[in-house]
Structure 1
């Protein structure tokens, strides 16, 4: 009964999306203004209904209702509670329902709280959101029904992919989905503003919180996914330029550019056309990522769908949404006025430069991701990996980071280069000193890691300079957010460069009692024992590790075996210190009775993820500051309206 109710409610939500789109289109016509008032309630109700449908699916997974096909294929009775919950979105149909749910709730939230836009622009925005939602409703209801029943209930379920049965990955996809959907809202704002020719500061102020929120969740999702791959897959790397990794990176790059462009338009009334175009590009990258993951053209733990028809459906949606948006932009571009001008030496100019660099990196990642797929379609397999991505993206990333060091110190509209010469010179001296130290400490270090260490150090210093001369207690939260986010970039870059420059790896065949040195660590294999978990068994190595002859600590890497569905997973064991991380992996037993062990000493590698958290924290502070400012403004406007009402009496 729950499945049928969930499906019925999902159809009702789709019907409301149709009504929302139709009412919005009619309300924008000269004689249809009377329908403008129904668009908001329709959006709110649609969000409520689709949320109810998703909760119905969650209930089916928590109860392990094996008469539902999706539950039988992705869960089983012995699975722990948290992974029953994660199983709701750890599959194609459930994840798409989560996507549509977040989209519906976001649209309803916009309808409830947005007061800054002109009424016609808001109606056009909500109509655009309904149009986007309709494609995904059609995708769910026509080709990916999450509530489909089996002819006979299964005796037990197949379970969840062992690689997905991890607390990190359980919450990694929803985090990314919130980011993707936030970009869909930004896309709808851009379309609404183009339709009503209302591209200006009010439009940017309305869109900015959604872009900022999407960017925060994308940052957290990418950071969590990177760390999950690092400690779970047992390969010791944090990024491999895999197409699925790139599918999440591309929207983040576009969202970063959009966020800065949107802020300039909101506060300085500049970059109007650029902001609208970036709004379209950011959502386009979300759709490209969705196509890559769900078309069946990739083989990955993230690639849920293997049905070419589903891939064709998503490709059609991508063509409709993006092609339509670009056509609308081409038609209405002439109506988007230039906005305020600024000089070559100004904060706006630095933001434009870095946005161009971000788009350059985005183009490199997009080409490197799609090129192997295109060549394979013609019968030729090509591998594109770090040898391409690292040096080519550095061509754009290095100038961008150097400008990032000085950009926040520049004034709006117009400035003089001489005013920031001294702080930039100090930052340059720091970079040069660190570069030379790296060359002396690690002779033969590659150029890119050395440059990364140097630029990270100079950027860390420069990121603090916007606080110089300020009363820290009265410094606005958005300024703190900018400083902390830029510090996070410096911290993450330092961790990346350190890992590339100084990591030490050891492969060893060991018997119980053997020792192995890796970097400053000495590791002894104490025992190999069988252990069992709630739905897995494992062989566990007990290791005794000493740092520079100090007190021993215990590490327990595992090789886990899952029965439902059959599969294995590496469970690495990590020891984190202030200056790095010891990483250990248990391999297979050889014919001679020795165990294959793999160790890494990775100096400062945790700074990669600390930096990611700092970047997201900076975004949170900036968002809180913007929200507080909006609340203060609304209160002031409310007081003025109240006084006028009293005076009118």
Structure 2
């Protein structure tokens, strides 16, 4: 009965989304206040309906209802409760319900927090979001129904993919979806503005917090997915330039350009056409990622589905939403003339450079990801585009981007002078140069990591210079500096912290470039020297888990004969899925990771059983994810600034504008 209630709730949500797509839009076109007023109640009702459907799906997984095909294919009675719950979205069908739920929450947030929005703009935004919900609800119900029944029910389910039975993969998809759907909101604002034919500072002020929130969640989603790959897959890397990894990186890059460009629209009413284009592109790339993951065109550990029919449906949605939006853009864009004029050397100019470099990196990743697919489709020839291509193609673009990130915030709006900016950054340049020289000498004359260290310290020092300059450091008394620093807008602090977080992440990536590893087979009691430690394999034993068995090694790590710690890597076997996973053992002191992986066991030359061990020493590896957390923290701090969240114009000005458009006295 509960699955039927969930199914009915999704059908009801589909019907509500039809009404939400039509009534407010028609009301805005006709100037009918009653029809426009239906937008918010329909958005709230849609949230309730999708919430009921999602709750029914969770209930089916928790009680292991094997009459539901989705539960049979992705759950098992022996699975821990936490993974029964997270297994709800650890599959294609459930993840689509989570996607639609996230979209409904965002639509309800626009309805609830958008009281100061002009009613015409608000109704059009919610109507566009209703159209997006309509497409994905139709996709879910007609091609990916999560409540399909099976009869007779099997005695138990087939279990969730063992790789997904991890807390990192439980958190990773919801964060990504909030990021993707956040760009659906900026897309809706862009389409609504194109329909109205007007983009102004108020529009930029509304787009900015949504782009900031979407970017922050996407940052955390990508970071947690990278962290999971690092410790769960056992290969010791954090980014492989996998096509599905790239699919999440593409909207992140364009989203970073969007949130900077929206500032210019808000402050200077310039870059209007460009900002609208970025808002359309960010969501288009989010949809592209959905297509790649679910169409079956890629074979990846990240892929959810391999049904070509689903891929065709998503491709149709991509064509309708993106082609329709870009056709509207081509029609309306010429009328959105920019008002703010600025010199190339200015803060606006720095943001334009930032945007061009980010979009250039996006183009490189886009081509590298899709070119093998098109080549296979057209010629049948299969090629692989791997890390060497991406590293060599993006590095020349990333370096000037990092240089500009520290200089841009120090430039004045409209027109700036280059020399005063350099004067304020001279000591940051000295720190970067010193870091480059030290890394070059201590890192074995490896130029690329040394350049990375220079870039990381440049950004850290640049963020400190930005805050110091805003606080009057060097121009007034220290007490005044501290007082001004305390009263700086949270948005200013947030931007500096986010830039510093990028610097920390670059330092972590550069440290990984100096990583060392060793592959060795040891018998019980055998030892080896690595990374300044003595590693002793004590034993390899069997271990029983809740729904798996394991072979676990015990490795004692010593220095100067003194025991430092014990590491226990293992290999887990899941009987239900007939699959083996690798569980790496990681010991960190935040300055480096010691990383051990247990491989296969074999007979040694003397007939004694040996275990194959792979050991890594990874300097600064934790800084990659610490930096991502700092970036998200900076975005959150900016978002907490009331001046970023509260839309302009205020309610009185909004009412006056609406009265003037209606021909009534204000």
TM-score by length of 2: 0.93
Counterpart in 2 of 1:630? 646
**CA–CA separation in structure 2 for the residues paired with 1:550 and 1:343:** 64
**CA–CA separation in structure 2 for the residues paired with 1:415 and 1:406:** 11
Confirm whether residue 528 of structure 1 aligns to residue 528 of structure 2: no
Confirm whether residue 406 of structure 1 aligns to residue 407 of structure 2: yes
Shift of 1:400: 0.5
1:459-474 counterparts in 2 under 5 A? 459-468=459-468, 469=472, 470=481, 471-474=484-487
Counterpart in 2 of 1:647? none
Counterpart in 2 of 1:376? 376
Counterpart in 1 of 2:611? 595
Q: 2:568 aligns with which of 551, 556, 560?
A: 556
Provide closer, same or farther for how the CA distance between residues 417 and 550 of structure 1 changes in structure 2, counting only shifts above 3 A.
Answer: farther
**CA–CA separation in structure 2 for the residues paired with 1:404 and 1:115:** 35
Confirm whether residue 75 of structure 1 aligns to residue 75 of structure 2: yes
**CA–CA separation in structure 2 for the residues paired with 1:637 and 1:337:** 23
Q: What is the RMSD computed on CA atoms of the aligned residues?
A: 1.8
**CA–CA separation in structure 1 for the residues paired with 2:650 and 2:292:** 43
Provide closer, same or farther for how the CA distance between residues 415 and 198 of structure 1 changes in structure 2, counting only shifts above 3 A.
Answer: same
Q: Deviations over 1:573-613 (max 9, x none)?
A: 00001420100000110132211000000111111111010
Shift of 1:163: 0.3
1:463–1:486 Cα contact (<8 Å) kept: yes
**CA–CA separation in structure 1 for the residues paired with 2:15 and 2:542:** 55
Shift of 1:347: 1.1
Report which stretch shifted further, 263-272 or 473-482.
Answer: 263-272
Counterpart in 2 of 1:249? 249
Shift of 1:31: 6.1
1:539–1:558 Cα contact (<8 Å) kept: yes
Counterpart in 2 of 1:132? 132
Counterpart in 2 of 1:211? 211
Report which stretch shifted further, 296-305 or 609-618.
Answer: 296-305
**CA–CA separation in structure 1 for the residues paired with 2:182 and 2:334:** 27
Confirm whether residue 483 of structure 1 aligns to residue 506 of structure 2: no
Indicate the SS of the match to 2:235.
coil
Counterpart in 2 of 1:618? 634
**CA–CA separation in structure 2 for the residues paired with 1:276 and 1:480:** 27
Q: Deviations over 1:519-544 (max 9, x none)?
A: 12221111111111111110110111
Report which stretch shifted further, 90-99 or 461-470.
Answer: 461-470
Q: Deviations over 1:377-397 (max 9, x none)?
A: 221111101110001111211
Indicate the SS of the match to 1:152.
coil
Shift of 1:401: 0.3
**CA–CA separation in structure 2 for the residues paired with 1:434 and 1:415:** 29
Shift of 1:564: 1.7
**CA–CA separation in structure 1 for the residues paired with 2:621 and 2:369:** 26
1:340-489 counterparts in 2 under 5 A? 340-377=340-377, 378-445=379-446, 447-468=447-468, 469=472, 470=481, 471-489=484-502
Counterpart in 2 of 1:509? 521
Provide closer, same or farther for how the CA distance between residues 627 and 421 of structure 1 changes in structure 2, counting only shifts above 3 A.
Answer: closer
Counterpart in 2 of 1:112? 112
Counterpart in 2 of 1:497? 510
- Unpaired runs of 5+ residues, structure 2, are 473-480, 657-666
**CA–CA separation in structure 2 for the residues paired with 1:317 and 1:50:** 20
Report which stretch shifted further, 17-26 or 436-445.
Answer: 436-445
Counterpart in 2 of 1:646? none
Q: Deviations over 1:184-211 (max 9, x none)?
A: 0110010001101221111111122211
**CA–CA separation in structure 1 for the residues paired with 2:34 and 2:168:** 49
Shift of 1:629: 6.1
Counterpart in 2 of 1:277? 277
Counterpart in 2 of 1:187? 187
1:369–1:384 Cα contact (<8 Å) kept: yes
Provide closer, same or farther for how the CA distance between residues 538 and 104 of structure 1 changes in structure 2, counting only shifts above 3 A.
Answer: same
Indicate the SS of the match to 2:234.
coil
Counterpart in 2 of 1:44? 44
Shift of 1:120: 1.0
Confirm whether residue 609 of structure 1 aligns to residue 625 of structure 2: yes
Shift of 1:34: 3.5
Indicate the SS of the match to 2:444.
coil
Indicate the SS of the match to 2:425.
helix
Shift of 1:550: 5.1
**CA–CA separation in structure 2 for the residues paired with 1:292 and 1:164:** 19
Provide closer, same or farther for how the CA distance between residues 627 and 517 of structure 1 changes in structure 2, counting only shifts above 3 A.
Answer: farther
Q: 2:551 aligns with which of 526, 539, 542?
A: 539
Shift of 1:631: 9.2
Shift of 1:472: 2.2
Aligned pairs, number: 637
1:162–1:562 Cα contact (<8 Å) kept: yes
Shift of 1:558: 0.7
Counterpart in 1 of 2:477? none
**CA–CA separation in structure 1 for the residues paired with 2:431 and 2:499:** 17
